[in-house]
Amino acid sequence: MRNPSAILIERPKGVPTARHFAIEDRPLPSLEAGQLLVQAQAWSVDPAQRGWANDAPNYLPPVAIGDPMRGFAVGEVVESRRPDYRPGDIVSGMLGWSRFAVSDGSNLDGKFTYSDLPPSYALGVLGLTGVTAYFGLLEACAPETGETVVVSTAAGSVGATVGQIAKIKGCRTVGIAGGAEKARLCLEEFGYDAAIDYRAPGLIDAIDAACPNRVDCYFDNTCGAISDAVMTRLAKGARITICGTAAITDWDPLPQGPRVHRQLLAASARMTGFLAFDYADRRHEALDALAGWLREGKVKVREHWLNGAEAAPGAIELLYAGGNTGKLLIEL
Amino acid sequence: MRNPSAILIERPKGVPTARHFAIEDRPLPSLEAGQLLVQAQAWSVDPAQRGWANDAPNYLPPVAIGDPMRGFAVGEVVESRRPDYRPGDIVSGMLGWSRFAVSDGSNLDGKFTYSDLPPSYALGVLGLTGVTAYFGLLEACAPETGETVVVSTAAGSVGATVGQIAKIKGCRTVGIAGGAEKARLCLEEFGYDAAIDYRAPGLIDAIDAACPNRVDCYFDNTCGAISDAVMTRLAKGARITICGTAAITDWDPLPQGPRVHRQLLAASARMTGFLAFDYADRRHEALDALAGWLREGKVKVREHWLNGAEAAPGAIELLYAGGNTGKLLIEL
């Protein structure tokens, strides 16, 4: 059996592009006691992979040159030397961008047990995306009924989930996304009360029009110009979740931007850096709630599929260019 | 009787200096029903007065040209047409920089009842300074025993109180102050475990030496270069209180600085803008605790007195130049 893997062959500075990867057929690993073999059905493409590929301070060491790219995947157990997993089980976790991956269980999120829902959801709304959206909004922003919640990358996988959870909680939801098509998706597919295309002129005026009572909660995935604009419109007691920084391609040296201190002070506002890993032990609280909302049709999911391992090298670049609509996945 | 008042005669941009004020003998106000007359014993000089004098977005409207400067004062009730105040009562509040002030009670903090402690403490450690230090540290930073707490303007009235409360709570306290004399005060008078003179070279190295486990809590009154340095040394789960921005003299247009988003994200850290006014209804909780610590000698206070109304015009400038050691007060 072939084992195509997306290998990091060159250290990127900023967004990894196609030239930083090569697809290689790696030897099929053999199992030792306590291990299991997973055949991937889909690889996940996530913003965090930029940080993992770069040699910069992060919460995980950088991926080594010559190793398969670190990444999430979902697949089927095809062989098991563990009592807790059987062939046929669907599992997801940080299995890396290889068709076949050996696991000792420690890098798995456990079994995907929502058998009435698509396994690919384990890489999105019923995985880290869902945990991020759920706790990043409900714990770090703690929105209350009637408050205005602004979401950047509002049509993306995390953003769309945040917007829909905020709507379920009775908030006024305002989505900021790039381009008219994504703004349309925000309104028609994800139920935002208002949508702003940040590529159109007049971003501040559009925020003012969409947020007559200013911004109570801001869930940010961008940093940069969008964030700078929203920060000038905070309501008293505003809460900001810093979930990602997609608009900034290089953090070394630290980029300059408007100082936020006076804005936080004048509004008695709070800005929190959010990592979903911090909520690992409460994961099922988020996923059970989201599975319920998915079944009720209150949360909708959009997936963007690329075909085959050959699509992997350019996938992170595509993500950062905003070329996807919905959760970006690679079908194996 | 003369009624010398410090009148704002010109709108400053940035720090108000002597030329923005004039001392005028204003007519002695006469009392209506429901009012009382207070003879000030001391005027308070506070960083917030810069913002009040400027015509910039703030939480209060700017002081009008031709009006006495907005400011806190403590004094004795000399006449009362209210049943709840009697001549001889000591009161403090936002009475303005006039020797005699009429009040309907709404701008008072109530009576100063800690009769065994100096009335001037109502303008500092037993007033807004104390409320700021107590809740800004204990609520916004929420330090735990054994954590490292870094304080900027560490020898100032708020900072010194923060450092001493953190010490009482069992934290390792690190004070950052300007000049060798203030660093000495931090160690010898306010009990910090380590003190850093930010005017000496090697600020980052000094932070590393003083904070071997990095920074769990950072109580900031400065913004600017000191804050930028501390932010590179956050511990996981760090909490930052933004209490003041003394190092930035002009917020219009917004000054540029290193973006903090990635630092907050990598450390799962939280940055909170803190206004003591938000804790007005819990004021006595802070003051009773502080009065107890003052009596036990666990919190020490340093006051810096200027003599007479004539000293008022240059006082805010002196404060921003760091020319005071301890709470800056004007004796009437």
Tokens matching residue A173 = 């939801």
SS3 B1: coil
SS3 B225: helix
Tell me the C-alpha distance between B103 and B279, whole Å. 22
Q: Cβ of B245 and A262 within 8 Å?
A: yes
| Residues facing residue A318 across a β-bridge | none
Query: DSSP labels for A4-35?
Result: EEEEE-S--SSS--GGGEEEEEPPPP---TT-
Strands B108-111 and B90-93: antiparallel
pLDDT digits (tens, 9 = 90+) for B170-204: 999 999 999 999 999 999 999 999 999 999 999 99
pLDDT band at B55 (very low <50, low <70, confident <90, very high): confident
- Which of B131, B261, B275, B278 should we substitute to test contact with A (largest number of A Cβ atoms within 10 Å)? B261
pLDDT digits (tens, 9 = 90+) for B130-181: 999 999 999 999 999 999 999 999 998 999 999 999 999 999 999 999 999 9
Residue B319 pLDDT exceeds 90: yes
Residue B59 pLDDT exceeds 80: no
> What pLDDT, on a 0 to 100 scale, did the predictor assign at position B34?
96
Q: Residue A11 phi/psi, 5° resolution?
A: -80, 115
Tell me the C-alpha distance between B107 and B72, whole Å. 10
> What pLDDT, on a 0 to 100 scale, did the predictor assign at position B273?
98
Query: Of B223, B258, B265, which has the smallest distance from its Cβ to A242's Cβ?
Result: B265
> What pLDDT, on a 0 to 100 scale, did the predictor assign at position A238?
98
CA distances from B243 to B166, B269, B271 (A): 16, 17, 10
Residue B271 · residue B249 · CB < 8 Å: no
What residues of B are in contact with residue A57 (Cβ under 8 Å)? Answer: 266
Range name among A188-197, A203-212, A250-259, B55-64 with the lowest pLDDT average? B55-64
Tell me the C-alpha distance between B159 and B176, whole Å. 9
Q: Residues 6 or more apart from B215 whose CB is under 8 A from it? A: B148, B150, B207, B230, B233, B234, B235, B238
- Considering only residues 259 to 278 of chain B, which have any Cβ-Cβ distance to chain A shorter than 8 Å? 259-275, 278
pLDDT digits (tens, 9 = 90+) for A22-54: 999 999 878 999 999 999 999 999 988 998 999
Residue A246 · residue A153 · CB < 8 Å: yes
> What pLDDT, on a 0 to 100 scale, did the predictor assign at position A56?
75
Q: Residues 6 or more apart from A19 whose CB is under 8 A from it? A: A10, A313
Tell me the C-alpha distance between A107 and A38, whole Å. 12
SS3 A76: strand
Q: Cβ of B261 and A227 within 8 Å?
A: yes
Residue A58 pLDDT exceeds 80: no
SS3 B306: strand
CA dihedral A61→A62→A64→A67, nearest 10 degrees, is: 100
* Closest by Cα among A152, A162, A218 to A183: A152
Residue B147 · residue B218 · CB < 8 Å: no
> What pLDDT, on a 0 to 100 scale, did the predictor assign at position B326?
85
Rounded average pLDDT over A207-236: 97
ipTM exceeding cut-off 0.95 for this assembly: no
Name the residue type at position B276: A
Tell me the C-alpha distance between A167 and B231, whole Å. 35
Query: Of B261, B274, B278, which has the smallest distance from its Cβ to A242's Cβ?
Result: B261
Tell me the C-alpha distance between B27 and B25, whole Å. 7
pLDDT digits (tens, 9 = 90+) for B13-50: 989 999 999 999 999 878 999 999 999 999 999 988 99
For chain A, list the domains and their CATH numbers: 4-124+301-331 (3.90.180.10), 128-277 (3.40.50.720)
* Closest by Cα among B239, B137, B151, B136 to B194: B151
3-class secondary structure per residue, A198-252: CCCCCHHHHHHHHCCCCEEEEEECCCHHHHHHHHHHEEEEEEEEECCCCCCCCCC
Q: Cβ of B261 and A267 within 8 Å?
A: no
Tokens matching residue A135 = 């706790």
Strands A327-331 and A36-44: antiparallel
Residue B112 pLDDT exceeds 90: yes
Residue B43 · residue B122 · CB < 8 Å: no
The chain A residue lying nearest B140, using CA atoms, is: A270
Residue B251 pLDDT exceeds 80: yes
Distance of CA B261 to the CA centre of its chain: 27
Tell me the C-alpha distance between A262 and B254, whole Å. 9
Per the prediction, chain B carries an average pLDDT of: 95
- CB of B257 within 8 Å of a chain A CB? The answer is yes
Query: Of B223, B263, B269, which has the smallest distance from its Cβ to A259's Cβ?
Result: B223
pLDDT digits (tens, 9 = 90+) for A122-180: 999 999 899 999 999 999 999 999 999 999 999 989 999 999 999 999 999 999 999 99
Distance of residue A26 Cα from the nearest chain B Cα, in angstroms: 33
CA angle B205, B210, B214 (to 5 degrees): 85
Distance of residue A83 Cα from the nearest chain B Cα, in angstroms: 36
Residue A246 pLDDT exceeds 90: no
What residues of A are in contact with residue B265 (Cβ under 8 Å)? Answer: 242-245, 273-275
Tell me the C-alpha distance between A23 and A6, whole Å. 5
Rounded average pLDDT over A250-277: 95
**Global pTM value:** 0.88
> What pLDDT, on a 0 to 100 scale, did the predictor assign at position A317?
97
CA dihedral B304→B307→B310→B311, nearest 10 degrees, is: -20
Tell me the C-alpha distance between B41 and A44, whole Å. 69
What residues of A are in contact with residue B238 (Cβ under 8 Å)? Answer: none
SS3 A134: helix
Distance of residue B315 Cα from the nearest chain A Cα, in angstroms: 23
Rounded average pLDDT over A228-244: 97
Residue A9 · residue A66 · CB < 8 Å: yes
CA dihedral A274→A44→A61→A246, nearest 10 degrees, is: -50
Tell me the C-alpha distance between B42 and B70, whole Å. 14
Strands B36-44 and B73-80: antiparallel
Omega into B253 within 30° of 0, i.e. cis? yes
Q: Residues 6 or more apart from A141 whose CB is under 8 A from it? A: A149, A217, A218, A219, A239, A240, A241
Omega into A253 within 30° of 0, i.e. cis? yes
Distance of residue B217 Cα from the nearest chain A Cα, in angstroms: 14
* Closest by Cα among A71, A11, A82, A78 to A43: A71
| Residues present in chain A in total | 332
> What pLDDT, on a 0 to 100 scale, did the predictor assign at position A86?
96
The chain B residue lying nearest A250, using CA atoms, is: B262
| Residues facing residue B174 across a β-bridge | B150, B194
- CB of B59 within 8 Å of a chain A CB? The answer is yes
Helices (H) and strands (E) in chain A, counts: 9, 16
> What pLDDT, on a 0 to 100 scale, did the predictor assign at position A296?
97
Residue B58 pLDDT exceeds 80: no
| Residues facing residue B219 across a β-bridge | B151, B241
Rounded average pLDDT over B269-286: 96
* Closest by Cα among B202, B260, B22 to A257: B260
pLDDT band at A326 (very low <50, low <70, confident <90, very high): confident
Query: DSSP labels for A242-299?
Result: E---TT----SSPPEEE--HHHHHHTT-EEEE--GGGGGGGHHHHHHHHHHHHHHTSS
The chain B residue lying nearest A253, using CA atoms, is: B258
Tokens matching residue B311 = 């000293």
CA distances from B186 to B140, B176, B220, B319 (A): 23, 8, 16, 18
Residue A57 pLDDT exceeds 70: no
Taking the alpha carbons of B100, B106, B108, B114 in that order, is the dihedral positive or negative?
positive
- How many beta-carbon pairs below 8 A join chains A and B? 109
What does R_g of chain B's alpha carbons equal in angstroms?
A: 20
Q: Spell out where B52-199 has E strands.
A: 73-80, 90-93, 100-103, 108-111, 148-152, 172-177, 194-197
Tell me the C-alpha distance between A198 and B33, whole Å. 58
